Amino acid sequence: MNPEPEIRRLLDVMPASGRMLTKIVSKPQQPQVIDSPFPQPWAQDRTIYINFDLWRRLSQPQRDLLILRTVSWLIGIKWFKPDIYQGVTLAGVLGAMVELVQGDAVGVVVAGGMSAIALSQIFRNSRSSQSQLDADEAAIKVAIRRGYSEAEAAQQMLSAIESVANIEGRLSLNFTELIRCQNLRAIAGLSAVGVPESIKQE
């Protein structure tokens, strides 16, 4: 598959916020069909790596839903939004700077530790089952604006998850993928059983 026309097509599928925030890069050497590293706070672009030799083995609707889902997850990671963890991180960084200027080694360690704990919590929240389900549902909402029905979008994402595992040579889905599949089956009307709230928080 020639990456350039497909990249242009995928950019058209994305919401405007995704086009501004993310960058698609061809990476034929990677074993994953699509991959996006956890974005660093200072990074201007959030990069999506695609192995287009593997990507072409998916149907176009599957590709649409995979890119929308990846973009939705990346957009959902907000390092600088006003909540408790960002507040603690900022306070810790500022405190460490003040203590450093004053030469207080213990203060620097304490303030730095506060920042590290808050940053790790932001990372965990962005990797949680709930954040993954939120990304799926956000992608489905965008897909509806692109002409898909809700059930069709959920079914395409469900089949994409299973197809990607097969293409990558994985014998089974991981825990998060299984939860996502169950949630997508419920959205698509294929199952009356959704994902319990207790599992979403894991």
Name 47's bridge partners. Answer: 23
**In this structure, are residues 106 and 74 in contact, taking their beta carbons and an 8 Å threshold?**
no
Token pair for residue 146? 């692109």
Per-residue pLDDT of 39-58, as tens digits, reads 877 777 899 999 999 999 99
From CA 157, how far away is CA 139, in angstroms rounded?
A: 9
Strands 34-35 and 46-50: antiparallel
pLDDT, residue 144, reads: 97
pLDDT, residue 77, reads: 82
Query: Where in the chain are the domains?
Result: 3-78+127-200, 84-126
Name the residue with tokens 């069709």.
152
| Encoded amino acid at 87, one letter | G
- Strand order, beta sheet including 46-50: 22-26, 46-50, 34-35
Token pair for residue 139? 């992608």
From CA 198, how far away is CA 16, in angstroms rounded?
A: 34
Strands 22-26 and 46-50: parallel
pLDDT, residue 193, reads: 78
Mean pLDDT by 10 residues, the chain (202 residues): 94 94 96 92 86 97 98 83 49 54 55 52 63 94 97 97 97 93 94 72 58
| Phi, psi angle pair for 47, to nearest 5° | -90, 135
Token pair for residue 31? 């074993």
- Residue spans of alpha helices (H) in 77-149: 84-102, 105-127, 129-145
C-alpha 63: how far from chain center = 15
Instruction: Pick the closest to residue 127 from 16, 39, 25 (CA basis).
Output: 39
pLDDT, residue 201, reads: 58
Residue 133 has a CB neighbour count (10 Å cut-off) of: 21
pLDDT, residue 195, reads: 73
pLDDT, residue 198, reads: 65
Token pair for residue 54? 């593997």
From CA 202, how far away is CA 197, in angstroms rounded?
A: 9
